[in-house]
A and B are shown apart, each in its own frame.
Chain A
């Protein structure tokens, strides 16, 4: 237990040295990573998803977001290995002649972008509020945490739907695809901050009575500096775990919103939108339009969740 939490002090840490990478490889966390095959696979899959999303424009045969590149002539082609398959459409095409593989790559890009930005936003809000509540306590703490409790009593998807609905009624039809993306990030960011706030507040309550905090207060450092520079770094473990799990949740939430038709529009589909489009063609036997985006989404969520689970165990000193 002694090495579990190494309190940061105001003393300057040694600058990054070549030994630092070595130290990371020697760490307990990396050791447990290497010990778990499934985690390594999950990490590989997640990394792969991120890479193909980043290089989508290089890997795709067409830009599915550009209507001029969609040929209606090429609509409803089944995957390449089936009898009616046609090159270059590896996973077939949908009703608009959109290559399913390209659509998945570009859709992944949107799903991951919304997910990551949503997590960053919810993290920023949650950490800030959690730090403030924990550090100051009293009425501030009461206020913030009661708001959190109220929000926690609703499912996050409901909050996201609410924010989404309000944005739509305020901006009406002026929302283009990019602002729709921003609305989604905002909706997800505002629905998931509570867990961060509660966790950070808990850690702060433990940390703030420790001597290093008292020392920092004694030398007259202002509260924001103590909170951000001294207390926050000691809560990173739990935050990382929540962020990873929430990334999966955020992606699922975006997909759900898009599936319900209140997320990304059909002209700029995310994975959820693709599944919604494909859902209408299941009875017609055109299974590939829904199956592949569905598999991609499931694989992505599963790998991120596995990574999150492993991280939670690896960072939990009681499980070592």
Chain B
């Protein structure tokens, strides 16, 4: 072999090696069932949107791979007094346009996130004072102690004051805005990725940020995000290699994707709990043939509905085994439910309860249900309709897209529902959020945000007292006991019917390595990818 040839071979090998394992040169294509509308990080409090924006924006804190709160833009913090939190900010951080990150931006973001139009009002208490101590120190002065203040902050992203003022983006973009604001089409975060182009509902291209303050764990050059609403199309795109990551994989297609040579499914329990709520606030149901009274106000009727639902059957048939029936309104990872078991499925007892309550012949009621939000949501509702039909409750099912559904049943729509299914992951990853937002009395004059997502209108003052104690209790054992008492009380009231935790199912190409979080937020800044 001549010198020339071996030299050529060495060069070739070197070139090949370069081509095979270049750092940060991969393009990851990601498809989700939902679209990314606004880039304004205060527009929509929805985990998928927050997950997308978490690539370009960062909070003072973030969540690590075990979902624990870790430092991000704040390097450290302390609570010199229970009502004063002091944050020491990271130095040398730059926004994507080059502006330095300082305490002014934190103060500005704290005001903006609490301003009208923001969907994240509860991130910073309305009466909290945010004080700049120096350029890299900020104090949060609260009116009452809140030991879990930072629990909600991993999705409270910090914005650049100078940039917002220069671009008429000081006010948050409301979700209902008809004309996009500058901040909803452009970003200026501090995160590991920048957005190169954004066509709402069509395609968003993320580019790796070479000036990021941290050490990247990914090896990506860019992320191309496209929404694919149709589940079968999404699966086909993954199988054909058109995209590298999809979320979610429909349960019926998990086996098919697992069997494919070039993709697999990451599954795991999700923290979201699905539950059924019954309007027990109104004196007469909005949608029912029972007039002059509300059957769901009778605790026996609520128990009957609970006992008529065969959750194991739903698990085996509708969810194909990929759900964890739940006795509690939170996942076991949030509050272990060893002391709680679901009341037994017992349609005969349910019938008797209905008869005792004076509805031996049943009644008619309308059920609201989303059909594009949770895993098999419409199918679960249909199954429940069938089960209730067996105890003579005739349910008219309204399965609708989430946009219509949320607009109708949530607070801004006036809680217009009689019977509904909803899923909830506490943003704090803590039970208190559920006790307060979903099960607390509505229209509490002292706390207008209490019961914000309590569409059923469950209200028990004793329960609220327990929830308030949970908020300020810092001793874990005592706190857990209080939470337990609260859940016991709500079960005695048959307040809600928890169904199950659904399973996460992310379809991932075998070229990609991902870390899956139980909060179902796809964090591609932890993704690594092999070359072609």
The docked-state distance in angstroms from the alpha carbon of A300 to that of B318 is 32
The docked-state distance in angstroms from the alpha carbon of A173 to that of B385 is 17
- A-side interface residues, number (CB < 8 Å): 25
The A-contacting residues of B in range 292-334, CB under 8 angstroms, are 310, 313-314, 317-318
With a cutoff of 8 Å between Cβ atoms, the chain B residues found around residue A72 in the complex are 310, 313-314, 317-318, 383, 386-387
With a cutoff of 8 Å between Cβ atoms, the chain B residues found around residue A97 in the complex are 317, 386
Partner of A280, one of B232, B385, B398, B400: B232
The A-contacting residues of B in range 357-411, CB under 8 angstroms, are 366, 368, 378-379, 382-383, 385-390, 395-400, 404, 408
How many residue-residue contacts, CB under 8 A, span A and B? 73
In the assembled complex, A283 has its CB within 8 A of some CB on chain B:
yes
Chain A contacts to B: CB under 8 angstroms: 66-68, 70-73, 75-76, 95-97, 173, 176, 265-267, 279-286
B256 near A283: Cβ-Cβ < 8 Å: yes
A283 near B252: Cβ-Cβ < 8 Å: yes
Given contacts A266-B378, A282-B232, contact A67 B385 (CB under 8 A): yes
Residue of B nearest to A285 (CB): B256
Partner of A266, one of B252, B382, B389: B382
A68 near B390: Cβ-Cβ < 8 Å: yes
Q: How far is the CB of B253 from chain A (nearest CB, A)?
A: 4
Chain B contacts to A: CB under 8 angstroms: 231-232, 235-236, 239, 250, 252-253, 255-257, 310, 313-314, 317-318, 366, 368, 378-379, 382-383, 385-390, 395-400, 404, 408
With a cutoff of 8 Å between Cβ atoms, the chain B residues found around residue A285 in the complex are 256
The docked-state distance in angstroms from the alpha carbon of A73 to that of B310 is 11
Please give me the 8 A-B residue pairs with the lowest Cβ-Cβ distance, nearest first: A68-B389, A284-B252, A67-B386, A283-B253, A67-B389, A67-B385, A283-B256, A75-B317
Residue of A nearest to B396 (CB): A176
Given contacts A71-B386, A73-B317, A283-B253, 20 further A-B contacts (CB under 8 A): A66-B389, A67-B385, A72-B314, A72-B317, A72-B318, A72-B383, A72-B386, A75-B318, A96-B382, A96-B386, A97-B386, A173-B366, A173-B368, A173-B400, A173-B404, A279-B232, A280-B231, A280-B232, A282-B232, A283-B232
The docked-state distance in angstroms from the alpha carbon of A176 to that of B394 is 13
**Most B CB atoms within 10 A — which of A67, A73, A265, A285?**
A67
The docked-state distance in angstroms from the alpha carbon of A289 to that of B390 is 25
With a cutoff of 8 Å between Cβ atoms, the chain B residues found around residue A279 in the complex are 232
Q: How far is the CB of A256 from chain B (nearest CB, A)?
A: 15
The docked-state distance in angstroms from the alpha carbon of A66 to that of B386 is 8
Residue of B nearest to A290 (CB): B232
The docked-state distance in angstroms from the alpha carbon of A72 to that of B408 is 29
Q: How far is the CB of A30 from chain B (nearest CB, A)?
A: 47
B250 near A68: Cβ-Cβ < 8 Å: no
A96 near B390: Cβ-Cβ < 8 Å: no
- What would be 14 A-B contacts, judged by CB atoms less than 8 Å apart? A67-B389, A72-B313, A72-B318, A73-B317, A95-B318, A173-B366, A265-B399, A266-B382, A266-B397, A267-B382, A267-B385, A279-B232, A280-B250, A283-B236
